[in-house]
Amino acid sequence: MAQRVVILGIDGAGGFIRQADAPHLLELLQSGAYTYEARTVYPSISAECWGSLLYGVSPERHGLNNDKAIHRKTPSDFPYASLFKLARRKWPDAPLAAFSCWEPINRGIIENDLGVHMESMPDPELAEAITAYIHQHPDFKLMFIQLDHPDAAGHQHGFGTSGQLAQIAVTDQYVHRIMDGLRKEGLLEDTWVITVSDHGGGGAHSHDHGSDHPMDMTITWGITGPAVNAGPIQTPVGIMDTAAVTAHVLGLPVQECWEGTIPGGLFSSNL
C-alpha cells in the first residue's frame, strides 16, 4: 500500500491539459483515474480554490481569498484543519512539504505553525527544489505542489489559447522532473499522486477567471497509485473531494465539516 501523497497542482490549467502537448502529464493522468470535467468552487479564484482543496470546505466557510492570503498568515486558531494539520497530528515528526510558486499559499493559506517545509520560487527552480527535497526526505508523508506559470500565461495570452497551451507544454517538463525524482528514489510505486487544476478561465473574460462560467469552473482531476481503478472517472468530481480522498488513502480522520466525498468507483475494494 502507498506511503505518501503528492498533490500536484497546475494553476489555471482548467480542463485545457488534454489540448496541450503535454505527454508526461497526460501519461500520469491516464495511468490512473482521471477526468477533464471536474468542477472547482465559486468564485473560481486561486485562494478560494486552493483553500477549498486543502480544507475541504467551500469559500463561504473558510473565508480565504487572495487579499487575505497575500496580507496575513493563517491564524493558529483557524476554525478548520487543513490536510497538513491532520497529517501533523498523525505523524508529529514526519516530513511534510509545500512548494508553491504563488507564495501566498504558503504564507496565507496553509497554517504556519506545523513545521511544514515551505518553499516559494518560480516554477523552473521550484521543480529542482522539489526533486532535491524528495532525495533528502524520501520518508515524507504529504507534499503539496503549485505550479503557477500556466495561470500567468492564461492571463497574458488568454485561457485555452495556443499561448497558454504552449506554457502547459513547458510545465509538462517540470512535471516530468518531479516524477523522475520520485522514480529515482524508488517511491513511485507506493505514492498516490493527485493531479489537479484549481480553476480554468476564459469564460466571462478571455484573459481572466472568477466567474461561474463552465470554462472557469471546469478543472482537471486525477489520481494514480495503489488500488486506483484506472480509466475515466464516470461519477462527478469536485475540487473539495481532494481532501476526502487524501484523508482516505493516508488514514487521516474525516472531518464532519467536509463538503467533498470520495468519488464512486475510484478505488478497488482492497483499499
First to last CA, the chain: 8
pTM of the model: 0.98
User: What pLDDT, on the 0 to 100 scale, is given for residue 1?
Assistant: 60
CATH of the domain at 157: 3.40.720.10
Distant-in-sequence, close-in-space partners of 128: CB < 8 Å, separation ≥ 6: 177
Paired with 100 in beta bridges are 146
- Alpha-helical regions (H) of the chain: 23-30, 46-55, 59-62, 66-71, 83-90, 104, 123-136, 149-157, 162-184, 214-217, 241-250
Tell me the average pLDDT across 107-135.
98
Per residue in 4-28, pLDDT tens? 999 999 999 999 999 999 999 999 9
Q: Range of 212's domain?
A: 4-250
Backbone phi, then psi, for 172, in 5-degree steps?
-55, -35
pLDDT at 77: 83
* Residue at 136 is within a domain: yes
Inside any domain, residue 191: yes
Average pLDDT, the chain: 97
Query: pLDDT class for 76, splitting at 50, 70, 90?
Result: confident
Position 269 scores a pLDDT of 75
Q: Is residue 47 part of a domain?
A: yes
Residue 145 belongs to what H/E stretch? strand 142-147
CA atoms within 13 A on the CB side of 204: 10
Has residue 157 been placed in a domain? yes
In a domain, 257, yes or no: no
Domain for residue 172, yes or no? yes
pLDDT tens per residue across span 63-73: 999 999 999 99
CA distance 268 to 248: 13
Report if residue 88 sits inside a domain. Answer: yes
Q: Any idea what the Cα angle at residue 106 is, between residues 98 and 29, rounded to 5°?
A: 45
User: At residue 218, what are phi and psi to the nearest 5 degrees?
Assistant: -85, 130
pLDDT in tens, 224-263: 999 999 999 999 999 999 999 999 999 999 999 999 999 9
User: Does a structural domain hold residue 260?
Assistant: no
Q: Is residue 134 predicted with pLDDT exceeding 80?
A: yes
pLDDT single digits (tens) 177-199: 999 999 999 999 999 999 999 99
Domains of the chain: total: 1
